[in-house]
Structure 1
Amino acid sequence: MRPTLRQMEYIVAVHQLGSFGLAAETLHVSQPSLSSQVATVETDLGVRLFERGRAGARTTARGLEFVTRARHILSEAEALRGSMLSDLPFGGRLRLGVLPSIGPYLLPQAIKSLHEAEPDLRVIVREENTLSLDEGIRNGRFDAIISTPEDHPNTFQHQLFIEPLWVAVAQDHPLAGGAQVAAEDLEGQRLLTLDTGHRLARIVYGIAGASGATVSNDYEGTSLDSIVLMAATGAGIGILPDLFARRQGIHRSEVCVMPLVMPDADRTISILVPSDRPEHFSGVLATILRSAAKVLELEVTQA
């Protein structure tokens, strides 16, 4: 007996919620029925998927493997059903993952244009770091992601733009007030960046190695705003991507924000879909996103 789609749905829900009771309530079934179905799968496969206890249900190592594969199967089944029932791209529902350093600045204009092009297409957006986006595009949680292409091999990719990097320094920093910052200006300086789950952190480590700077190991930011705040205290030099710097950073009175001019001080941003599902519409979406980026650039330039 093979696990059914319904049984896989039960198991994924228990893993997500950490509780048989909450999973049953969410799926509108009785807890005994859900528990029985999960136990049937465990017996049939000869593996234990969950460790049960008073604190709830903890997924075992084999259970995690099951959940990862089940999510992909459920996603494919949903996509199949959607494509049969709808002529809309992505079966009428686009689950889009995006880097948090991109989403708030690029997507508002893009979603508006996308709605004009496909008014019946539902777009669900989640902001996650690079590692989580890669996991999501592989296990089927996302239909497409906006991220740095080198972190997602074996995907179908449309390049959107190359984003330069900027620096943020405290108003009393020796570099404050300059027109730009070069590699030699960073020698001996401490650089601030996001945690290592982001491609930006790896780029910053490369910049440090090329310029003679160091990356602060005392602080890893969880957001670009936190990097700006730390730079304002004099803790180091914040490294910021272009969209954030021009949309937000240049308006912050507590820091001075300047372009960073040196080789490899940039990152490529692409839209990516699974390699086995190179949706034709992803090309249309790429065109919309590129246009949104150009509109944003014009708005900031004219501000």
Structure 2
Amino acid sequence: MRPTLRQLEYIVAVADTGQVGLAATRLNVSQPSLSAQLSEVESDLGTQLFQRGRAGAKITPVGEEVVRRARLILHEIQDLRVAARGGGIFQGRLRLGVLPSIGPYLLPGVARRLHREHPRFRLIVREESTRDLDEGLRSGRLDMIISTPEDHPGARRAHLFTEKLWVAVALDHPEFSTLTRVPLSALKGQTLLTLGAGHRLSHIVAGLAARAGGRVSDEYEGTSLDAIRLMAATGAGLAILPSIYAATELRRGTDVHLIALDEADAMRDLALVQPQLPAPRPGSDVLAEILQSEANRLLTI
């Protein structure tokens, strides 16, 4: 049957590295052999998958779809082998994409528990924006993601937890430094700091600003929650932060005053998202439970 599974591995490796030579090194084969196999696959399929030249191997539009399907086939084969051994995902590896506003705070405790309870499990984590997570899930580059469910229509989603939003202000802020809760109306005329436009959090903050009569800063877009917290500490504006991050800051001591935002829909939902296959990957329900348990622990503030 052609293309063979090994040939599918070849084309996925070339797509991942963008270089035939790098793909050959990764797969421990010679570059001439890999090039010959690529040519054979393209001949069998009757289409060009990559434009190869000195700059590397650039995937063609048809190649993108072939690679996407190749990833799904290889994942199914991996699942078949894992299912035969028993134990679901915990007998192999999982490429998990996660929002940078969640990963560094939620996953350390999760990783410790996974290592303790499932020592054969290999978790590979990629922190990416909402848009990149969606692309990774659709292309097969990622097996599952932790993200905001509304941004991934058509995928299988398991609700994990809901985060309220907090306001971070400079310790000497004249209006907010003594408050314990902030009504939405108090954001009127204020400059709000948030992540860049590729993140769902930025859209939530923009909606809150529009309703309150505030403005989202266009002078500074953070790439991390730490970055926007530091900007708030200098008095550059009010940082809007999700609960798990705020709870982490409160536990370790912080350079800002953190105040709960008193607004019913000032929140975001997080879900474990995977491709819409006939059935969820075996063991994904256990992973979801572990993520929920750690989130509940962190959110107790």
TM-score using structure 1 length = 0.88
SS state at 1:164 partner: strand
Q: CA RMSD in A?
A: 2.3
Residue 289 of structure 1: aligned partner: 291
CA distance in structure 2 between the aligned counterparts of 1:156 and 1:48, rounded to whole angstroms: 32
CA distance 1:109–1:234, change in 2 (3 Å): same
Distance 2:118 2:51 in 1: 45
Offset from partner CA, 1:196-223 (integer Å, 9 cap, x none): 2221111111111211112122222111
Aligned length in residues: 298
List per-residue Cα deviations over 1:138-179 (Å, max 9, x = no partner). Answer: 333333322212122233333222111111122343322321
TM-superposed CA distance for 1:280, in Å, is: 5.3
SS in 1 for 2:285: helix
- How far has the Cα of 1:78 moved from its partner? 1.9
Instruction: Judge which range, 169-178 or 215-224, deviates more.
Output: 169-178
Give the corresponding residue for 1:200: 201
Structure 1, 178-187 or 129-138: larger mean CA deviation: 129-138
Aligned partner of 2:173 in structure 1 is 173
| CA offset digits 1:216-255 (Å, max 9, x no partner) | 2222211111111222233321111111112026756542
Partner residue, 1:99: 99
What is the CA distance between 1:34 and its match in structure 2? 0.9
What residue is the counterpart of 1:35 in the other structure?
35
SS at match of 2:299: helix
Q: Distance in 2 between matches of 1:23 and 1:120?
A: 26
Is contact 1:207–1:264 with CA below 8 Å preserved after alignment?
Answer: no
Question: Contact between 2:90 and 2:120, CA under 8 Å: does it hold in 1?
Answer: no
- Equivalent position SS for 1:248: helix
- What does residue 241 of structure 1 align with? 242
3-state SS of 1:176 partner: coil
* Partner residue in 2 for 1:263: 264
Once the two structures are overlaid, the 10-residue window that deviates more, 234-243 or 94-103, is: 94-103
Partner Cα separation in structure 2 for residue 273 and residue 50 of structure 1: 28
Q: Structure 1 residues 220, 281: CA separation in 2 closer, same or farther (over 3 Å shift)? A: same
* 1:152-167 correspondence to structure 2 within 5 Å: 152-167=152-167
Range with bigger deviation, 153-162 or 245-254: 245-254
| Aligned match of 1:71 | 71
Q: How much identity, in percent, do the aligned residues show?
A: 54
Take 1:176 and 1:103, find their aligned partners in 2: how far apart are those partners?
Answer: 29
The 1:92/1:140 distance shift into structure 2, 3 A limit, reads farther
Provide the residue aligned with 1:82 in structure 2.
Answer: 82
Tell me the amino acid that sits aligned with residue 17 of structure 1: T
Q: 1:116: how far off?
A: 4.2
| 2:18–2:56 CA contact under 8 A, matched in 1 | yes
Instruction: Decide which moves more: 91-100 or 200-209.
Output: 91-100
Q: Which runs of 4+ in 1 moved over 6 A?
A: none
Q: CA deviation at 1:14?
A: 1.7
Q: Which residue of 2 aligns with 1:133?
A: 133
| Matched AA of 2:234 | T
Distance 2:191 2:42 in 1: 52
One-letter amino acid matched to 2:265:
D
Distance 1:152 1:199 in 2: 11
Letter aligned with residue 228 of structure 1: R
CA deviation after TM superposition for structure 1 residue 187, in Å: 0.8
Q: Which amino acid aligns with 1:255?
A: V
Runs of 5+ consecutive residues of structure 1 not aligned to the other structure: none
- Structure 2: unaligned runs, 5 residues or longer: none
Contact 1:96 1:144 in 2 (8 A): yes
